[in-house]
Every structure is written in C-alpha cells, then in structure tokens.
C-alpha cells in the first residue's frame, strides 16, 4: 500500500524518482506526487491517477535538483485527489513529507494544531506530521522528526525534506517498511527494494522506531532515543531484470509462467531423496523444539491464507501435529489455548502484511514459537519470527498473487515432510513425496502448455456474471483461491465452496448462465466430486472440470475439461490452481481489465 522512493546524490533526481515510482506502482495507484529540492527551493507536483498522469504534468517542466522524494498513494484517509496526494507540506511550504501507514491519533493532534492557528489543506492523517515537524524544526531536521515520532501513535514509514536543510532527507519507520540503498553516486530510501534495484543491490533495512539522516555521501541510523545504530549492509538477491515484463503483456501472466522455476527454487538444495527428508537450514535455530511440536497455528491473509488452508490438510496427512489455520485479521479475537510447544507459522509474500504482523506479535505475547514462510528477505515478518524459510521466488509484482501461492505450498510440503519424518512418517512415504515434488516443475509446464485451450474456455464464459468454484479436502482451498483470483482481477462475482456444502445452499443458484469450476482430480474425493458434477449438470449448469489426465468419467459429463498430470493426493493443489489462475487471467484480459492493478486493490496491505 503506497510506495515511497527518495534519492540524495550526484545525479538529477527527477528521472530516478519517476522510474522508481513506476516500479512501486503495484503498491498503490490512485494518485502520485514528487518534491525536488534545489538551491534553497523545493518544487512539488501532484496528480490524481497513475504515475503517467504525474509524468505528463512534469514532462515539460525543468525540475533540476539532486535531492527528492516521490510517492504513489493508496487512499486511506480522504478520497484520491490532488490535495490529498503526497508529498504534504506545512503552511509555509518548508517541510515536505511522504508517508505510508496510518496516524491513529491524528484527530487529537489536528485539534491541538488548529488551536495554534494551523490551517489544514487536505483530509489526510499525514498532514499533521508536516505541521508537527515544522513546529519542532529549529535547524535540525532529524531532531524535529524525532520529536514528532514521540507524539504520534499508529504506523508510519516517512521521508521528510526541509527547504532550510539542504542536501538531506530524513526517513523514519514504525510498522511500515523502509530500506536505505547505497550506491556510488548517492543514497536511496524506499518502501520496497524494487524501487532502487536498478541502481544498487546494497541495502540496509530500517527497523521499527528507527530513523536515518541520508545525504549524498553518508547516512546515519539512530533510534527514537537518539542512540546510534551500526547495521550491516545486505545484498539484495533480486536482479533488475526480475522486475521487468520480459515480453509478457502483464506481470501476472509472467509470474504464472515463472512457476516451474519458482517451485524449483523453493526446493533447491532442500531435498535429500535418499532419506526422504528435506533440509531446511532456516529453521535450525528452533529445530529442537519444532521436532517435538504437537500444535501448529498458521496465520495469514488472502491467498497466503488459502495456502495455509491447504497446509492444514498437508500437516494432518504427513505429521502428528494438530494444525489450525486462522485468518490473521481474526486471530486476536480468538481465545486460543496454546499448549506447551505451540508454533505459529506466518505465511506472507510481502512479509509486511499488517494483520499478519499483528497476529505474530500477539502470539509472541502468548509465548508461542514463531516461524515464517516469507518471500521478501529482511521484511518485518522475516525479522520478527524466530526462524523461517524464504520462498526465493523473486519479486511478485502482479497484485494478484500466483507464483508465491505454489511456492508456499511447496515449502509447506517440505516442512510437513521434515517434521513428519521425525515423527512417524515411513521412509517409503518420504521418498514418494520427494519424487512427486521433483516432478512438479515439469508437470506445471505441461499445464501451461494448455494455455490456449484455457483461453478458449474463458472466451466462452467470460461474460457470465456469477461463477462457482467447488473442491473437496486438499482442493477446497483451491476452490476459494480460484474464486478469489477471478473476482479480484476480472470483477466477476465468484464463490469458492467446499463441494459438500453445495446442497446446503449454493445449488439454488445453478442455472445455464452460471459456470461451475469443479476441481476433481483422481484423489480420494473423486467419486464425491463426480456426484456433485452430476447434480450440477442435471440442473443445466455449465461445468468446467479440472481433472487428472486420462479421466474419462468426468469428460462425459462436463462441458469443458482441463487436464493436470497425476501426482500424490496432497500435491494436486499445486497443479489444479494453475488452470484457475489462467482462467481468471484470460477472463480479465477479455473483459479489458487492468490486470496488474485491479481497482481498489494494492499489493502489500500494510494497514489493518
Ligand atoms: C490475492 C492477494 C492477497 C494477498 C494478501 C496477503 O491475490 O495477493 O490476498 O495474498 O494480501 O499478502 P501477503 O502474502 O503479502 O501477506
């Protein structure tokens, strides 16, 4: 949600910032703005809509200056408008600030400032920060930011520049990510490394309640109490090309096609076929406790939550661990008992999802061990868990998550297998699982080779207004994920149901205009899914069935069939989700939707 990029260096800031904003646009895209400092002046421009609108506005305006900041917004307080867009400024237009997050006590601060005669020009919570910093500034911008941090409650990642503090930007964070980038010609700061990965791979992550003063030649990090922090520089493993489209029309399609490789990356160096036991170096610090674990609670949101739902069945199948999965946003409302040796496992692509972060903090207070499966290295969840496993899947830029879902499922299988083999899972089962895992990348390629067939199905049904997705057991979460994918990028109404629930309500909806995607591979649920398909057909509902290659029975009944290769029952979700992703993609594409930036959504939900 919202993106920040800043530069202080020896090059002109404008092109660097605009390019950085474009890399961040997936985080929010209802308005954007830029402020550039030059010779005692700061010029600010803001525009509603995508970055191109801002670009059009400033294209012909000379904007010299080697110090600047830019922001792309996902509205929380106040509609998307130019006045509400960042950077915000104080009344005298000396302080300029960009902000991600939410200032919870902004009403109180606003009232206090209004009493002092301050006039507000926007409906945002952010503006209070600009006025506070202006109030506290007496020549030392870092100090003014520090005093402001002490006044505010809520979450923030901020970058601030001041007309009277030339050549520097001050950044600070509490709950919203900020990374400093180090290059030969200056320093960067951004909410996400993708904004600067073209210029540098050397980064330093700011932690909560820390701030940094950044200049062309230096940066210094301090705590909110002014204690100096020395932090090691990290090397970003992503390359600039990872964030390019490479000939694909959309990031979502590119990321769907990357899955053979990202599944492979999730397993790379982690398989020991002979022993039927994976190796997961990241969990070594907690292994002694984890191998005795009898109670695991997975927490996540959205697509990552559906991965957790598959994970529950996986853990029940391969281990003796009692496993639950909770929506992170609901976790704190539950009165869960944590028996000794309970572990919480957070699943998150971004590692910054506010609800997931809040859930692990709550679990920490209750004394549980904390594990993470996270894609973004150095992210908050990665840092706040005791141990974890990285996806190593590269940046996921399409707002709809695809490659991370299959990567999460692969890693969940490895983790379940590792714990299961230390409990009672026999060697033969371990070996079978590893062989099946090794076959996945090739099997995913086989499914991707049917893209034209899936596109033709989308052609036939994309105008239908309502869709149903059905599955059982391992594939019940795939029904929910398939429905989520379709609704979020095509805006078609879709529901994912456990197929056994169909008779308890949704069957009333079945008619010739409502397609059902029935996920019915040849697993132990097959016969039951067959009955569901028959029930839909006898009510003249069109059925698009996802089946195991060679299935003849479903073929006779269903209107459309998409085949996936044979695997073990618990790995089918990694295969059956691919046709769902492609169906959603092609429907959205035929409807002319903005696939990588669907309306109202943003990648990385850093507000609760
Ligand atoms: C849907 C989607 C979201 C995310 C959710 C959690 O396609 O991408 O539902 O899965 O916002 O995000 P992470 O995994 O970053 O915690």
Task: Give the integer Cα–Cα distance in Å for 99 and 456.
Answer: 44
Task: Give the integer Cα–Cα distance in Å for 151 and 370.
Answer: 31
The secondary structure of residue 75, as a DSSP letter, is -
Task: Check whether residue 214 and residue 248 sit in a common domain.
Answer: no
Q: Among 384, 416, 441, give the residue marking a domain's end.
A: 441
Asked if 56 is an active-site residue, the reply is no
Residue pointed to by tokens 């853990």: 315
If you measure from the C-alpha of residue 399 to the centroid of ligand 1, how many angstroms do you get, rounded to a whole number? 8
Residues in the chain with pLDDT values less than 50: none
Task: Check whether residue 132 and residue 200 sit in a common domain.
Answer: yes
Instruction: Give yes or no for a contact between 596 and 252, defined as CB atoms under 8 angstroms apart.
Output: yes
If you measure from the C-alpha of residue 599 to the centroid of ligand 1, how many angstroms do you get, rounded to a whole number? 15
pLDDT at 27: 67
Task: Give the integer Cα–Cα distance in Å for 20 and 1.
Answer: 15
Task: Check whether residue 414 and residue 357 sit in a common domain.
Answer: yes
Task: Check whether residue 352 and residue 206 sit in a common domain.
Answer: no
- The CA–CA distances, whole Å, from 98 to 6, 55, 168, 373 equal 10, 18, 15, 30
CA 78 from centroid of its chain's CA atoms: 24
Asked if 603 is an active-site residue, the reply is yes
Record the pTM.
0.86
Q: What number does the ligand 1 atom closest to the CA of 399 have?
A: 8
Task: Check whether residue 273 and residue 146 sit in a common domain.
Answer: no
Residue pointed to by tokens 């932090």: 231
Task: Give the integer Cα–Cα distance in Å for 521 and 500.
Answer: 16
Instruction: Give yes or no for a contact between 263 and 404, defined as CB atoms under 8 angstroms apart.
Output: no
Q: Among 236, 263, 294, give the residue marking a domain's end.
A: 236
Task: Check whether residue 368 and residue 423 sit in a common domain.
Answer: yes
Domain range for 263: 244-441
The secondary structure of residue 103, as a DSSP letter, is B
The CATH number for 521's domain is: 3.40.50.10490
Residue nearest to atom 11 of ligand 1 (CA): 302
What are the residues whose beta carbons fall under 8 Å from the beta carbon of 374, sequence distance 6 or more?
346, 347, 348, 349, 351, 381, 382, 385, 388, 389, 390, 391
Residue nearest to atom 8 of ligand 1 (CA): 401
Task: Give the integer Cα–Cα distance in Å for 276 and 272.
Answer: 6
Task: Give the integer Cα–Cα distance in Å for 256 and 214.
Answer: 38
What are the residues whose beta carbons fall under 8 Å from the beta carbon of 115, sequence distance 6 or more?
none
What are the residues whose beta carbons fall under 8 Å from the beta carbon of 264, sequence distance 6 or more?
441
Instruction: Give yes or no for a contact between 594 and 486, defined as CB atoms under 8 angstroms apart.
Output: no
Task: Check whether residue 336 and residue 202 sit in a common domain.
Answer: no
- 238-245: long-range pairs with CB below 8 Å, 24+: 238/193, 238/194, 238/197, 238/201, 238/394, 238/395, 239/197, 240/197, 240/198, 242/197, 242/394, 242/395, 243/23, 243/194, 243/197, 243/395, 243/397
Nearest to 469 by CA among 480, 459, 457, 460: 480
Nearest to 470 by CA among 448, 429, 502: 502
301 close to ligand 1 (CB < 6 Angstrom) = yes
Burial string for 252-290 (b: 16+ CB within 10 Å, else e) reads: bbbbbbbbbbbbbbbbeebbeeeebbbebebbeebeeeb
Question: What is the CB neighbour count within 10 angstroms for residue 603?
Answer: 25
Answer positive or negative: Cα dihedral of 22, 24, 27, 29. Answer: negative
Rg (CA), the chain: 25
Instruction: Give yes or no for a contact between 429 and 268, defined as CB atoms under 8 angstroms apart.
Output: no
Task: Check whether residue 148 and residue 46 sit in a common domain.
Answer: yes
Token code pair at residue 551: 């299935």
Residue nearest to atom 9 of ligand 1 (CA): 302
What are the residues whose beta carbons fall under 8 Å from the beta carbon of 592, sequence distance 6 or more?
none
Task: Check whether residue 142 and residue 96 sit in a common domain.
Answer: yes
Q: Among 441, 475, 497, give the residue marking a domain's end.
A: 441
Task: Give the integer Cα–Cα distance in Å for 400 and 421.
Answer: 34
Task: Give the integer Cα–Cα distance in Å for 45 and 446.
Answer: 49
581 close to ligand 1 (CB < 6 Angstrom) = no
| DSSP string of 502-555, one letter each residue | GGGTGGGG--TT--EEEEE-SSTTHHHHHHHHHHHHTTT--EEEEEETT--HHH
**If residue 257 lies in a helix (H) or strand (E), which one and from where to where?**
helix 251-257
Task: Check whether residue 546 and residue 410 sit in a common domain.
Answer: no
Residue pointed to by tokens 């503090």: 165
Instruction: Give yes or no for a contact between 277 and 426, defined as CB atoms under 8 angstroms apart.
Output: no
The CATH number for 36's domain is: 3.60.20.10
Q: What number does the ligand 1 atom closest to the CA of 405 have?
A: 10
Task: Give the integer Cα–Cα distance in Å for 491 and 466.
Answer: 10
Task: Check whether residue 362 and residue 501 sit in a common domain.
Answer: no
Q: What number does the ligand 1 atom closest to the CA of 400 have?
A: 7
Task: Check whether residue 285 and residue 431 sit in a common domain.
Answer: yes
Q: How many structural domains are present in the chain?
A: 3
Task: Give the integer Cα–Cα distance in Å for 590 and 567.
Answer: 32
Token code pair at residue 121: 């020009």
Q: What number does the ligand 1 atom closest to the CA of 604 have?
A: 15
The secondary structure of residue 465, as a DSSP letter, is S
What are the residues whose beta carbons fall under 8 Å from the beta carbon of 405, sequence distance 6 or more?
303, 304, 306, 307, 481, 577
302 close to ligand 1 (CB < 6 Angstrom) = yes
400 close to ligand 1 (CB < 6 Angstrom) = yes
If you measure from the C-alpha of residue 600 to the centroid of ligand 1, how many angstroms do you get, rounded to a whole number? 14
If you measure from the C-alpha of residue 304 to the centroid of ligand 1, how many angstroms do you get, rounded to a whole number? 6
Task: Give the integer Cα–Cα distance in Å for 576 and 60.
Answer: 50
**If residue 47 lies in a helix (H) or strand (E), which one and from where to where?**
strand 41-48
């Amino acid at each position: 949600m919202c993106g920040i990029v800043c530069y202080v260096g020896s090059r002109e800031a404008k092109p660097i910032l605009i390019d950085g904003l474009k890399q961040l646009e997936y985080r929010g895209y209802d308005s954007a703005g830029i402020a550039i400092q030059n010779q005692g002046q700061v010029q600010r421009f803001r525009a509603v809509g995508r970055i191109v609108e801002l670009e059009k506005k400033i294209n012909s305006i000379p904007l010299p200056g080697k110090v600047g900041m830019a922001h792309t917004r996902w509205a929380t307080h106040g509609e998307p408008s130019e006045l509400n867009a960042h950077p915000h400024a104080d009344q005298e237009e000396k302080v300029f600030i960009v902000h991600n997050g939410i200032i919870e006590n902004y009403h109180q601060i606003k009232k206090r400032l209004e009493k002092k005669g301050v006039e507000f020009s926007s409906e945002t919570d952010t503006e209070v920060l600009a006025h506070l910093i202006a109030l506290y500034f007496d020549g030392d911008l870092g100090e003014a930011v520090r005093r402001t941090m002490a006044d505010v409650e809520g979450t923030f990642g901020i970058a601030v520049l001041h007309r009277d503090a030339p050549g520097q930007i001050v950044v600070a964070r509490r709950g919203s990510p900020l990374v400093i980038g180090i290059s030969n010609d200056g320093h960067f700061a951004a909410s996400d490394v993708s904004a600067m990965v073209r210029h540098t791979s050397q980064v330093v992550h700011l932690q909560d309640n820390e701030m940094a003063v950044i200049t062309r030649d230096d940066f210094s990090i301090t705590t909110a109490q002014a204690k100096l922090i020395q932090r090691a520089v990290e090397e970003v493993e992503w390359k600039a090309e990872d964030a390019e489209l490479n000939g694909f029309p959309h990031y979502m399609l590119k990321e769907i096609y990357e899955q053979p490789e990202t599944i492979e990356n999730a397993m790379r160096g982690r398989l020991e076929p002979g022993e039927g036991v994976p190796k997961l170096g990241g969990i070594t610090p907690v292994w002694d406790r984890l191998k005795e674990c009898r109670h695991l609670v997975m927490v996540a949101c959205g697509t990552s939550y559906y991965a957790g739902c598959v994970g529950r069945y996986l853990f029940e199948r391969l281990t003796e661990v009692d496993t639950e999965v909770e929506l992170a946003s609901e976790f704190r409302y539950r009165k869960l008992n944590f028996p000794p040796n309970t572990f919480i496992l957070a699943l998150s692509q971004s590692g910054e999802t506010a609800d997931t972060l809040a859930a692990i903090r709550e679990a920490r207070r209750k004394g549980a061990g904390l594990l993470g499966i996270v894609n973004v290295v150095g992210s908050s969840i990665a840092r706040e868990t005791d141990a974890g496993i990285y996806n190593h899947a590269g940046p996921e830029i399409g707002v709809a998550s695809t490659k991370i879902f299959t990567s999460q499922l692969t890693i969940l299988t490895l983790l379940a297998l590792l714990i299961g083999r230390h409990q009672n899972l026999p060697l033969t089962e371990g070996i079978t699982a590893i062989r099946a895992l090794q076959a996945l990348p090739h099997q995913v390629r086989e499914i991707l080779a049917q893209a034209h067939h899936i596109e033709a199905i989308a052609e036939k049904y994309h105008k239908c207004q309502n869709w149903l997705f059905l599955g059982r057991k391992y594939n019940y979460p795939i029904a929910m994920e398939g429905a989520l994918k379709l609704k979020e990028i095509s805006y078609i109404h879709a529901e994912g149901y456990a197929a056994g629930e169909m008779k308890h309500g949704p069957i009333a909806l079945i008619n010739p205009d409502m397609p059902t995607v029935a996920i019915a591979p040849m697993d132990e649920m097959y016969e039951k899914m067959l009955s569901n398909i028959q029930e839909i057909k006898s009510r003249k509902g069109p059925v698009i069935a996802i089946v195991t290659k060679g299935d003849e029975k479903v073929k006779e009944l269903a209107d459309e069939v998409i085949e996936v290769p044979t695997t073990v029952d618990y790995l089918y979700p990694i295969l059956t989700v691919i046709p769902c992703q492609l169906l959603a993609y092609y429907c959205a594409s035929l409807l002319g939707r903005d696939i990588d930036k669907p309306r109202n959504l943003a990648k990385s939900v850093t507000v609760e």
